[in-house]
Structure 1
Amino acid sequence: MRPPIYDNCERTDLTPQRNGETSFSFFNRAGGSLWRHSRALHQQWADRLSDREYAEMRAALRSDDAQARSAFLELYLHECLVRGSHEVVVHPKLGHTTRRPDFLASRGTTRVFIEAIAPGQSRADRAAANSIGALLATLDQVGDDNFLLMTTAITQASNSAPAARLRHQIRKWLTQLDPDSVDTEDLPKRTFEQDGWSVTIKAMPIKRSRRGNVRRSIGIYAHSEAHFIDDGAKLVAALKSKVSRYGHFDAPFVVAVGTTTFDEDGEDVFNALYGSVSWVLGGLTPGEEVTSRGVRNPDGYFGSPGAWKNRRVSAVLIVDQLSLHDPTRARVALWAHPDPLHPLPSEPMFPGVIHEWNGQSTDKREARDARRLLELAEDWPQGHRWQAD
């Protein structure tokens, strides 16, 4: 008998996800009535897999967040294909290579190969993030009845954070403050240093009516600096890492990319696939205004008009913000290649929208409704996040 993805146990913990806590750990212990619907959905989808595929999927979902995110993307795609009346082969054999893509989906006389990828942080970046997460998880347990914390700056060292000692210093500092005399326009602030690490904290007084009933100590995370994220470059790098593995297919090939940062208007994806824009300055108008025009550069992954490239990729499917809690909220968009070797079937395979090249830009049309395709009611999931039935 297959072991379930989540443990069979009584769940009474109604607290939010903690710093450093994996998605599996949270879902496995969350006692709110809402979360049981998500757990049941994950189990239902995974039960469609063969024994070997199920074991691999279960292990990945129970692992760290990077593996769980990648596995859930594959599980989501598999379910969309099955619900769309496709016959799905997981890791189909190819005649020209020993490598296997994730899926072969067949419906009637059509066949489509699908490969999924969920780009994430480098190993070094994950290690650094995990170290910060462990520190924050410890600071979140300062447990002062009168103050919440605002983290305004963190300096990281190469060694593990002395979190317990920093927590002790913060606790001692908070006992010296009077919550009723703090100026909320000029919050008390202090930097704590230990073993190369430093943490700058502001103390925020808790309303008198809520004192003594605090579950988490960090109220605001304000220590991360804003920085530019080149989503387009990440997308192209992800495509290149996958496409070259399989050579040429004898049927349409879709690369599905799980993302967490793309903007809603799809401009980053458009520029990455069809080319970025440069502005060329022209002459002066009669009113002595400088004219300009946008020029599409030939640096897109799909190339440019008259010089299309990477034609073995029939389309790129962006699955953005895919949530284990409610996968119907994912922003899904299929970006079709203007001149693929093997065009996709006309009938949509996935939820979301479809972008198709019109000679200058892309036209957008609706694909399939996620809730209808996955057969989930409009009010799913029902229940309360932090309240049991």
Structure 2
Amino acid sequence: MAEAELSLFAERERTRQEPLKRGEQLFEFYDSCARDGYDQLRVLLNGWIAAIPEEHRAELVSRMQYGGDEAFGAALCELLVASFLTKSGLKLVFHPDVPGSTNHPDFAVVDEAGKTICYVEVTTVNRAAERAKEQNREAVIYNAIDGAKLPAGCLLGYNLVRAGPSSPATKPLVAAIEQWARDNVEQARTAEMVGRFTAGEWIIEMELYAGGEPGQRGHAIGVASLGGGIIHPHKDIRAALVKKSRRYGKLDAPYVIVVGDGKDQLFSAETVRIALTEAVFGDEKAAMVGGKLRLDYAKNGFWNGPNGPQNQHVSGVLLLPKHTAWHLREEKWHPLLAVNPWATSALSAELKTLPCLENDNGRWSRHDGVNFADILGVPNPWPPE
């Protein structure tokens, strides 16, 4: 394969100024966008890709270009971790052999003699497949309505009431919404105007806003109500750890599992700390000790089980709160490492350079570390102003 083919983004002229469309793949948008900052993003990612050994670079490029958003995010997590480790002065072996297993972790950190000092596996937490498929089907409807032709000064509010198993014909739906807007524009200037529209098994509720400044707009939808739900990031992280912990059997070196959150369910540095702590120790609960109320953990954690310490072969868990490149300079989204106090193989100091949570004289304490973005060579400020 020619060297030019091994870049993630080709060098070419780009003119697109339109924002990301709902349902559009991230790679396609990043590859076409000419807005401020995107040239720098492409240079940054291409630089990291170029440092990956050629035989493994092709696999990452393929997944990021053609695998969809989840594959793009997962491959980016691997790229971030590999780049951080190599730029920290550590030597990596990609997809190493593991004694007694036919499976291969993502990386092995090795010493100058080639001896493995740590295995590293990267995984991501993603939305349920059915919900992702529903969102892709909905994107067809949303984008069609967003292109509706409305009376001057009008915008739409969008709310999905019920989803269907397949994307319906959109032309009749858009035509009905356009006619409804024309019929009700005057009433919408002084009163709330809401209409429900059915397309196949889909039900969409629209609100008409009128009275804005006339002018050329590229989008008919001004307000959108998106789906939500109850979030349990610690449970998602724990489930991902359980799955990966069983993959390689008994290992002859420390083992670190990296988990990237692809569900956007962490909101601050404190939620990152709590999610990681609960994932490994168990759900937070209140307990009475010596007549005083204190914080304790249920024995359902990845490391703290009903019969005491478990999964002791996993020496550390690294949480990547965001698996995008845009947030790397934001302190609240810096990666956080949890160090197993009961590990059968302890992590060496050179593997604990990031901010970490670990046992400190019986207390679970946070210790500062190197700046992930600095090691990766991310420009400062970032994103570009």
Query: What TM-score do the two structures reach when normalised by structure 2?
Result: 0.88
Using the TM superposition, name which of 124-133 and 139-148 deviates more.
139-148
| Residue matched to 1:337 | 340
Question: Does residue 23 of the first structure (1) align with residue 29 of the second (2)?
Answer: no
Counterpart among 137, 141, 145 of residue 139 in structure 1 = 145
| Residue matched to 1:191 | 196
Aligned-pair CA distance for 1:306: 8.8
| Residue matched to 1:387 | none
Question: Does residue 41 of the first structure (1) align with residue 44 of the second (2)?
Answer: yes
| Residue matched to 2:126 | 120
RMSD between aligned residues = 2.5
Count how many residue pairs are aligned between Structure 1 and Structure 2: 371
Which of the two has greater helix per residue? Answer: 2
**Residues 35 and 106 (structure 1 numbering): CA distance in 2 closer, same or farther, change over 3 Å?**
same
Question: Does residue 56 of the first structure (1) align with residue 63 of the second (2)?
Answer: no
The answer on whether the counterparts of 2:316 and 2:340 sit within 8 Å (CA) in structure 1 is yes
**Residues 143 and 361 (structure 1 numbering): CA distance in 2 closer, same or farther, change over 3 Å?**
farther
**How do 1:258-269 and structure 2 match up within 5 A?**
258-259=260-261, 260-264=264-268, 265=270, 266-269=273-276
Aligned-pair CA distance for 1:263: 4.2
Counterpart among 172, 175, 191 of residue 165 in structure 1 = 172
CA distance in 2, matches of 1:369, 1:179: 56
**How do 1:240-389 and structure 2 match up within 5 A?**
240-259=242-261, 260-264=264-268, 265=270, 266-280=273-287, 292-303=293-304, 307-329=308-330, 330-348=333-351, 351=354, 353-358=355-360, 361-382=363-384
- Counterpart of 2:350 in 1: which secondary structure? coil
- Counterpart of 2:185 in 1: which secondary structure? coil
**How do 1:172-187 and structure 2 match up within 5 A?**
172-178=179-185, 182-183=189-190, 186-187=191-192
Aligned-pair CA distance for 1:140: 1.6
Question: Does residue 148 of the first structure (1) align with residue 150 of the second (2)?
Answer: no
- Counterpart of 1:203 in 2: which secondary structure? strand
- Counterpart of 2:184 in 1: which secondary structure? coil
Query: What TM-score do the two structures reach when normalised by structure 1?
Result: 0.88
| Residue matched to 1:75 | 79
Counterpart among 94, 99, 105 of residue 103 in structure 2 = 99
Aligned-pair CA distance for 1:192: 0.8
| Residue matched to 1:205 | 210
Aligned-pair CA distance for 1:346: 1.7
**Amino acid of the structure 2 residue aligned with 1:188:** M
The answer on whether the counterparts of 2:44 and 2:378 sit within 8 Å (CA) in structure 1 is no
CA distance in 1, matches of 2:315, 2:361: 17
CA distance in 1, matches of 2:42, 2:211: 35
CA distance in 1, matches of 2:192, 2:247: 55
Aligned-pair CA distance for 1:8: 3.5
Using the TM superposition, name which of 58-67 and 115-124 deviates more.
115-124
The answer on whether the counterparts of 2:260 and 2:320 sit within 8 Å (CA) in structure 1 is yes
- Report 1 or 2 for greater relative contact order, CA contacts < 8 Å, sequence distance ≥ 6: 1
CA distance in 2, matches of 1:233, 1:309: 17
CA distance in 1, matches of 2:287, 2:83: 47
- Counterpart of 1:62 in 2: which secondary structure? helix
Gaps of 5+ in 1: 286-290, 384-389
